[in-house]
């Protein structure tokens, strides 16, 4: 049971960051080719994304101490909606700007929450391994980034092209949300 709970914790990190970086890796060509933004505008949009990431991290850290698994479920639900709406609204500039900001905010609000949650699981099921589990969770972030970016690279050659990446990110967010719900049930 203890290994199962910790592995589910790692899966939250892998799938959520697979979703986030699957789209982020290809964000510039998506914004250029689908939304019609210029290179200079994309630079400013990436700045907007970076500011959203910073605020997300701060908010995640502030609210992470109150039931992190439930908070992760909500954040992954927000990402699920964000990527689904990106699929529909990428051709429209204003909704795209809002959704890119939400993607950064919700995606990075989850980082301190996931880190705290995996440490809490480690304290509960395998005391004394918090350092190792924390480091392994950082590895899970990197695995998620690699998987999302790799699959995104494969998907851009499909008939939907760059737009297909938002579908992958939607599916990965759904899986992360379901895994967080499963974790809540296991931990009751």
Structural class in CATH, domain 2-187: mainly alpha
Q: Is 141 in contact with 17 (CB distance < 8 Å)?
A: yes
Mean pLDDT, all residues of the chain: 95
pLDDT of residue 2: 55
Distance CA 163, CA 35 (A): 11
The pLDDT of residue 33 is above 80 = yes
Q: What separation in angstroms does the CA of 63 have from each of 14, 57, 128, 157?
A: 21, 10, 25, 40
Please compute the mean of the pLDDT values over residues 87-105 and round it to a whole number: 98
Please compute the mean of the pLDDT values over residues 69-73 and round it to a whole number: 94
Contacts of 93 (CB under 8 A, 6+ apart): 35, 36, 37
pLDDT digits (tens, 9 = 90+) for 121-173: 999 988 998 999 999 999 999 999 999 999 999 999 999 999 999 999 999 99
pLDDT of residue 5: 87
Q: Is 77 in contact with 70 (CB distance < 8 Å)?
A: no
SS3 154: helix
SS3 157: coil
Task: Please give the share of the chain, as a percent, with pLDDT higher than 70.
Answer: 99
The candidate with the shortest Cα–Cα distance to 6, out of 125, 111, 113, 143, is 125
Characterize 146-162 residue by residue with b for buried, 16 or more Cβ atoms within 10 angstroms of its Cβ, and e for exposed: ebbbebbeebbeeeeeb
The pLDDT of residue 92 is above 90 = yes
Structure tokens at 89: 């609204």
pLDDT of residue 49: 98
Residue 65: pLDDT band with limits 50, 70, 90:
confident
pLDDT of residue 188: 78
Domain boundaries, the chain: 2-187
Please compute the mean of the pLDDT values over residues 107-129 and round it to a whole number: 93
Burial class (CB in 10 A: 0-12, 13-18, 19+), 39: exposed
Please compute the mean of the pLDDT values over residues 78-86 and round it to a whole number: 98
The pLDDT of residue 1 is above 70 = no
The candidate with the shortest Cα–Cα distance to 25, out of 107, 95, 117, is 107
pLDDT digits (tens, 9 = 90+) for 38-58: 999 999 999 999 999 999 999
């Amino acid at each position: 049971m203890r290994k199962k709970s910790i592995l589910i914790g790692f899966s939250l990190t892998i799938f959520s960051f697979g979703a986030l970086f699957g789209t982020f890796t290809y964000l510039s060509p998506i914004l250029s080719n689908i939304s019609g933004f210029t290179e200079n505008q994309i630079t400013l949009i990436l700045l907007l994304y970076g500011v959203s990431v910073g605020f997300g991290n701060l908010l995640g850290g502030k609210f992470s101490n109150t039931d992190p698994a439930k908070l992760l479920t909500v954040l992954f639900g927000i990402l699920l909606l964000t990527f689904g709406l990106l699929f529909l609204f990428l051709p429209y500039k204003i909704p795209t700007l809002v959704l890119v900001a939400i993607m950064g905010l919700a995606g990075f609000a989850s980082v301190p929450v996931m880190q705290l949650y995996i440490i809490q699981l480690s304290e509960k099921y395998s005391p004394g391994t918090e350092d190792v589990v924390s480091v392994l969770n950082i590895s899970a972030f990197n695995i998620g980034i690699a998987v999302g970016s790799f699959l995104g690279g494969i998907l851009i050659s499909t008939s939907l092209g760059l737009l297909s990446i938002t579908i992958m990110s939607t599916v990965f967010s759904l899986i992360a949300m379901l895994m967080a719900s499963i974790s809540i049930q296991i931990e009751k």
